[in-house]
Homo-oligomer: A and B are copies of this chain.
Amino acid sequence: MPLLVMKFGGTSVADLARIRNAAGKVADEVARGFDVIVIVSAMAGKTNELVRWVNDISPFYDAREYDAVVSSGENVTAGLMALTLQEMDIPARSWQGWQVPIVTTSQHGAARFVEIPREAIERKFAEGMKVAVVAGFQGVSAEGRITTLGRGGSDTTAVAFAAAFGAERCDIYTDVDGVYTTDPRISRKARKLDRIAYEEMLELASLGAKVLQTRSVELAMRYKVKVRVLSSFEPVTDTSGTIVCDEEDIVESKAVAGIAHSRDEAKMTLQGVADRPGIAAAIFGPLAEAGINVDMIVQNISDGGLTDMTFSCPTDQVPRAERALTEARARGDIAFGGLVADTEVAKVSVVGIGMRSHTGVAAAMFRALAAEGINIKVITTSEIKISVLIDRKYMELAVQALHDAFALDKAA
Contact = CB atoms under 8 A, between A and B. Distances in A.
A66 B78 CA distance: 11
A195 B62 CA distance: 40
Contact of A57 (B75, B78, B80): B80
A69 B64 contact: no
B62 A72 contact: no
A122 interface: no
Provide the main secondary structure of the chain A interface. helix
Interface in A68-98: 68-69, 72, 75-76, 78-80, 82-84, 86-87, 93-94, 96, 98
A62 B131 CA distance: 15
Interface residues of A, number: 34
A61 interface: yes
Given A16-B53, A57-B87, A75-B72, A82 B99 contact: no
Given A16-B53, A58-B87, A94 B65 contact: yes
Given A16-B57, A57-B80, A58-B86, A68 B50 contact: no
Interface in A91-139: 93-94, 96, 98-99
Q: How many copies of the polypeptide does the oligomer hold?
A: 2
A303 interface: no
A54 interface: yes
A61 B16 CA distance: 15
Given A53-B16, A65-B94, A83 B58 contact: yes
A144 interface: yes
A62 B83 contact: yes
B56 A68 contact: no
A68 B53 contact: no
A96 B68 contact: yes
A62 B50 contact: no
B65 A69 contact: no
Contacts of A82: 62, 65, 68
A65 B86 contact: yes
Contacts of A146: 96
Contacts of A62: 82-83, 86, 93
A169 B65 CA distance: 27
Given A57-B87, A61-B83, A65-B93, 12 more contacts: A54-B83, A58-B84, A62-B83, A65-B82, A65-B94, A68-B94, A68-B96, A69-B76, A69-B79, A69-B83, A98-B98, A99-B145
Interface of A: 16, 19, 50, 53-54, 56-58, 61-62, 64-66, 68-69, 72, 75-76, 78-80, 82-84, 86-87, 93-94, 96, 98-99, 144-146
Q: Which 8 A-B pairs have the closest CB atoms?
A: A69-B79, A68-B79, A58-B87, A72-B72, A57-B83, A65-B79, A65-B83, A65-B82
19 contacts: A16-B57, A54-B83, A57-B80, A58-B83, A58-B84, A62-B86, A62-B93, A64-B93, A65-B79, A65-B82, A65-B86, A65-B93, A68-B78, A68-B82, A69-B75, A69-B83, A72-B72, A72-B76, A99-B144
